[in-house]
Amino acid sequence: MSELETAKRLAWWKRADAKKAVVLWAIFTLVIGYVASTIQTRVMGSAASENMSSTINMIKIFTWAASPVAGLVAALTITTLLGKRHFGDNPPPEAEHEIRNSPKVAATWVVVSTLLCLFAVIYGMVLVQKDENNLRSANSLNIDVTGQQWAWSFNYVDNGGARSADLYLPVDKHVVFHVTSTDVMHSFWIVQMGIKVDANPGYITETATTPNKIGVYDLRCAELCGLYHAYMQKQVHVVSQADYDAWVQSQGGKA
Amino acid sequence: MTTVTNRPAPAGPTAPKKALIERLSIITGLLLGVVGALLCWYLARTFLPVNTDGSYIKTRMDQEVFIAMIGWFVGFMTGMGALIGPFRWLLGKDLTHDENMFYAGKDQGAKRYFRYTTDHKVVGIQYLVITMVVFFVGGVLAMLIRTDLGHKGGNWLQPQTYNTVVGMHGITMVVGAIIMVTGPFGNFIMPIMIGARDMAFPRLNALSFWLVVAAVPPLLSALWLGGIPTGWSAYNPLENQAPPGMDGFIMAICIFAISTMVAGANITATAIKMRAKGMTWNRTPIFIYGVVASVALALPVFPVFFLSQVLSGLDRATGSTFFDVRGGGSPWLYENLFWIMGHPEVYVILIPSLAALMEMAPVFTRRPLFSFNLAIMGIAGISGLSVLVWAHHLYVSGWAPLLNGPFMLTTELISIPTGMLFLVLIGTLWRGRVWITLPTAAIYAVLLNFTIGGITGIYLSDVSADAALHGSLFVTAHFHYTLMGSGLTAAIGAMVYWFPKMTGRMFDKKLGWTAFWITQIGFQITFMGMFMVGLAGQPRRVGAISDFFHQGNVIATAGAYIIMAGMLVLLHGVVVSWVWGVKAPQNPWFAKSLEWSVANPVPLENFAVLPVVTEDVYGYGKAQS
């Protein structure tokens, strides 16, 4: 019996390199999943709306779903490096086998990656639907947002047309933003609330959220809009309903 | 123009005076280009009607700039000799045999690199050099960006300068990356690899290269004409607002798009029609598939890029309103046109890079490529899907929110064929005896970087996560992991692999390894830092930032300087190896593909007798011998 056939008879999971790879896979999956998701959630900070917390959550879940994939790639490649390496100017001896394909491995790989992909798509679709419903919810506060080079202006249409340059929002109240621009494209982005929509000249686009934490947050323009794009930032003040009413009245609107 | 009409005297050793065709070179090209530009500019200034409509103040200036640049383009191409052939046809004749041989660079002199030479090997070297020049310029611009953001609060550059630097960095790197594999290796290596004596259309080959050169001065002129403060995506109406530098950008894109289309038609025809006898599709190396997929993908999408810039140029120069909402146009139209090219374009860059890795993997593991069919399915799947994903760049634009779901589906489906290519690479490394060389190192580095780039791409493809991440530095870090960490790393690996055949010398190992480790470590530092500040909410393309982002940006900037050091070592390595390197044997990697069966330096017509292919190109492994 030739050497080749002996090697073939050995079940793949009994091979030394396969064992090594499986151990490394487990370790890498845990390390990558833990380190990446911890850093991501820490860097993204605390969420100021349901949108942002569900986005952070989603990124955490995607990271844990992706870490076995990343871990597998890392484990397999590192195992190949742990095996027979060859240095020098002359080539190594030919490999002991000439495996050209393994339909089983290929099929498993394709099926698993398809399932992971479908998981991501379905999860994403559910969230999109939620955002979509969010936009249609009744009893919400409407605010018109206008971008121009290089400032934002806000029109509180439900509060008798009070206007401001910084954004004020009552806490725990659903808000729909109607966004447009007077000149070039801008992008209306409230960082800690995880919402963003472009401000296009001539069109009105919409996005919605419910701020759920009192505090001061960042509004940034996320679309290059010319000379002072970098400076097109404002503060978003989320205040209690009472404070909001008082502020609106001080701006000449009605609560 | 009149110089072209002179019928050149037959070239030959006894010809007493040089024929016209022998006099033309880059010198006459530049000369005629400048003359053409000045002449057209003067005519435009003198004869264009005075603009009476006060609402479009810049229009007349834009008209003059465009006309001058068309003058440059026509003058340069005429001076290069691109019109000699077509002019002969007009007279019902063609080039003589001697002239064709002269075009092919029969004399083998150094001057042929500066002429309209049709030999694919000359064109390959020309592409390699211009790719490095373009990357050098783009790299300097990248360092300006990182230096600005390394300062506390940024603002080291003036806002207008910063925006222009960002746009120029983007467009130069994109152009460089598009030509980095299919240019040098697609032209030099591919014809030899398939056993051909030259490309299918040698004159088109020279044309595609010199068109790239013709596009450079208009692009660089933007720096003196007010810059391109729009980023490389040049969204309208910002593009319409920009100074005349934008006209240079538009002109450069149009010329470059023509070059890509010409090269695409040429390379596709060559690979389909000119493979050696016996080279069935099953025996065709995977690199050929990669190159053909890349250029064939560019064929339908670059005309769209061309069109988007022509319409933008018309908006600027004639006051038309394709993208101006006040005149019934739509900025969303521009965004769509741009990304219909823009997303396939990243696969135009990536596919040939990954194909080069798949070509090298069997050589350095001494075993066959794992699952050749899966590799082809992967390449075909990516190419097919890539034209259906463009609107994921428009998730938050407000254009057609109903389409977000379908585009999320197509975008995430691309991970399946991409995964196939991963399996092919890993499967080939698995249980092989890995020969540790620089190209091998590139394979490992790309597997790491592309895993990170790919997975972060899945976050971005999700509509609601994109609402948080779109337009942030997270996106920038993501596409640098794919295009630089994967695409460029693979291209550098490919350069080291084919360096012995292209230059006749081995790449200096010590310098190569030093450059590899420095750039890869610097790369991880830079773009990990960029992922962090992106997640924390730093927008892209801003030259001034709040102090909150200082720490992450200092890390990214430090990493960028490390990359710069590594790239300078690499450049040094290229020069040292090219000039003083050890003379390479004919087949230093003991590979089985045809390009290693020809001598160094490669003879003028590659093969004295055209080869016949009788066995598989990946026939490594013990059972074979």
Taking the alpha carbons at both ends of chain B, their separation in whole angstroms is 62
pLDDT score for B165: 94
Q: Could B401 and A4 be called an inter-chain contact, meaning their C-beta atoms sit closer than 8 Å?
A: no
Q: In angstroms, rounded to a whole number, what is the distance separating the alpha carbons of residues B376 and B449?
A: 22
ipTM at complex level: 0.93
Q: State which H helix or E strand residue B345 sits in.
A: helix B331-365
Sign of CA dihedral A225, A226, A230, A234: negative
CA angle, residues A134, A137, A138, in degrees to nearest 5: 160
Q: In angstroms, rounded to a whole number, what is the distance separating the alpha carbons of residues B246 and B316?
A: 9
Residue range B261-306, pLDDT digits in tens: 999 999 999 999 999 999 999 999 999 999 999 999 999 999 999 9
Tokens of A87: 């240095």
Mutate which: A224, A233, A236, vs B, most B CBs within 10 A = A224
pLDDT score for A56: 93
Over chain A, what is the mean pLDDT? Answer: 89
Dihedral in degrees, nearest 10, Cα atoms B442, B448, B452, B453: 20
The whole-number average pLDDT for the span B422-439 is 92
Q: Nearest chain A residue to B331 by CA: give it.
A: A200
Residue range B294-319, pLDDT digits in tens: 999 999 999 999 999 999 999 998 88
pLDDT score for A190: 95
pLDDT score for B52: 62
CB B60 within 8 A of CB B51: yes
Residue range A89-110, pLDDT digits in tens: 888 888 777 778 888 999 999 9
Residue range B106-130, pLDDT digits in tens: 777 888 899 999 999 999 999 999 9
Q: Could B535 and A109 be called an inter-chain contact, meaning their C-beta atoms sit closer than 8 Å?
A: no
Q: How far is A148 from chain B (nearest CA, A)?
A: 12
The whole-number average pLDDT for the span B469-493 is 96
pLDDT score for B2: 40
pLDDT score for B98: 85
Q: State which H helix or E strand residue A209 sits in.
A: strand A205-209
Q: How far is B346 from chain A (nearest CA, A)?
A: 21
- Label residue B560 exposed, middle or buried (CB < 10 Å: 0-12, 13-18, 19+): buried
CB B181 within 8 A of CB B163: no
Q: In angstroms, rounded to a whole number, what is the distance separating the alpha carbons of residues B118 and B614?
A: 30
SS3 A230: helix
Q: In angstroms, rounded to a whole number, what is the distance separating the alpha carbons of residues B233 and A224?
A: 10
Tokens of A147: 């971008």
Residue range B354-373, pLDDT digits in tens: 999 999 999 999 989 999 99
Helices B120-150/B489-503 angle, 10° precision: 140
Number of Cβ within 10 Å of residue A68's Cβ equals 19
Query: Is the CB of residue B462 less than 8 Å away from at least one CB of chain A?
Result: yes
Q: Could A76 and B426 be called an inter-chain contact, meaning their C-beta atoms sit closer than 8 Å?
A: yes
The whole-number average pLDDT for the span B383-400 is 93
CA A152 to chain centre: 25
Q: Could B231 and A224 be called an inter-chain contact, meaning their C-beta atoms sit closer than 8 Å?
A: yes
Q: In the structure, what pLDDT confidence band is assigned to residue B53 with cuts at 50, 70 and 90? A: low
* B 468-487: CB under 8 A from A: 468, 470-472
Q: Identify all chain A residues contacting B590, using CB atoms and an 8 Å cutoff.
A: 90-91
Q: In angstroms, rounded to a whole number, what is the distance separating the alpha carbons of residues B134 and B140?
A: 10
Q: Does the pLDDT of residue A5 top 60, yes or no?
A: no
Q: Identify all chain A residues contacting B588, using CB atoms and an 8 Å cutoff.
A: 89
Q: How far is A189 from chain B (nearest CA, A)?
A: 8
Contacts of A11 (CB under 8 A, 6+ apart): none
What domains sit in chain A, N to C, each tagged with a CATH number?
3-85+102-135 (no CATH), 141-250 (2.60.40.420)
Q: Could A81 and B434 be called an inter-chain contact, meaning their C-beta atoms sit closer than 8 Å?
A: yes
Whether the bond into B601 is cis, omega within 30 of 0: yes
The residue among B451, B423, B434 whose CA lies nearest residue A103 is B423
What domains sit in chain B, N to C, each tagged with a CATH number?
1-7+25-95 (no CATH), 127-394+405-591 (1.20.210.10)
Query: Is the CB of residue B154 less than 8 Å away from at least one CB of chain A?
Result: yes
Q: Which of B405, B540, B542 lies closest to A128 in CB terms?
A: B405
Q: Nearest chain A residue to B370 by CA: give it.
A: A100
Q: In angstroms, rounded to a whole number, what is the distance separating the alpha carbons of residues A94 and B418?
A: 29
The whole-number average pLDDT for the span A187-204 is 94
Q: In the structure, what pLDDT confidence band is assigned to residue A159 with cuts at 50, 70 and 90? A: confident
The whole-number average pLDDT for the span B53-77 is 83
pLDDT score for B563: 97
CB B608 within 8 A of CB B383: no
Residue range A29-64, pLDDT digits in tens: 999 999 999 999 999 988 999 899 999 999 999 999
DSSP B394: G
* B 328-357: CB under 8 A from A: 330-332
- Could you tell me the pTM of the whole model? 0.93
Number of Cβ within 10 Å of residue B42's Cβ equals 14
The residue among B136, B179, B210, B174 whose CA lies nearest residue B491 is B179
Q: Which of A76, A79, A226 lies closest to B229 in CB terms?
A: A226
pLDDT score for B17: 67
Over chain B, what is the mean pLDDT? Answer: 91
Q: Which amino acid is at B242?
A: A
Q: Could A87 and B589 be called an inter-chain contact, meaning their C-beta atoms sit closer than 8 Å?
A: no
CA A143 to chain centre: 26
DSSP B376: H
Residue range B79-104, pLDDT digits in tens: 998 998 889 899 988 888 888 888 88
Q: Could A117 and B412 be called an inter-chain contact, meaning their C-beta atoms sit closer than 8 Å?
A: yes
Distances (CA, A) of B393 to A161, A189, B244, B340, B416: 34, 16, 27, 10, 20
Query: Is the CB of residue B163 less than 8 Å away from at least one CB of chain A?
Result: yes
Query: Is the CB of residue B229 less than 8 Å away from at least one CB of chain A?
Result: yes
Contacts of B299 (CB under 8 A, 6+ apart): B261, B264, B265, B268
What counts of helices (H) and strands (E) characterise chain B? 23, 1
Q: Does the pLDDT of residue B46 top 80, yes or no?
A: yes
Q: Could B589 and A91 be called an inter-chain contact, meaning their C-beta atoms sit closer than 8 Å?
A: yes
pLDDT score for B623: 58
DSSP A215: E
